[in-house]
Amino acid sequence: RKEVEQDPGPFNVPEGATVAFNCTYSNSASQSFFWYRQDCRKEPKLLMSVYSSGNEDGRFTAQLNRASQYISLLIRDSKLSDSATYLCVVIGGYQKVTFGTGTKLQVIP
């Protein structure tokens, strides 16, 4: 089993739609959690941190459920520019940073 798992998609959604991504992690001792975005042939970029209390940044909302070892990302009012691969990231012991398998989003006009 992979340490960090995501539904690979692709998720094809119309502009303006709301889309949700999920991520599960296997190590209960994991310490910090993040969502990254990766555009085609580019390096990943930090999108937002994930906290148990929830974290909102404009159209993006991230949530952590430690008991279920589950992380989510919600994107409201999808834009064409949101098309990318979304990566769940977990930081564990010795500062090991593990990326999830990634979920591809394609927003359609």
Per the DSSP assignment, residues forming a β-bridge with 56 are 61
Q: How many CB atoms lie within 10 A of CB 97?
A: 10
**Inter-residue contact 12 to 35 (CB < 8 Å):** no
Q: Which is closer to other proteins, CB of 75 or CB of 90?
A: 90
Which residue shows structure tokens 């991504």? 21
Least Å distance between CB 29 and other proteins?
13
Q: Which is closer to other proteins, CB of 75 or CB of 88?
A: 88
Q: Which is closer to other proteins, CB of 89 or CB of 107?
A: 89
Least Å distance between CB 109 and other proteins?
23
Rounded Cα–Cα distance for residues 23 and 103 (Å): 9
- Chain residues binding other proteins by CB under 8 A are 3, 31-34, 36, 41, 43-44, 46, 49, 87, 89, 91, 94-102
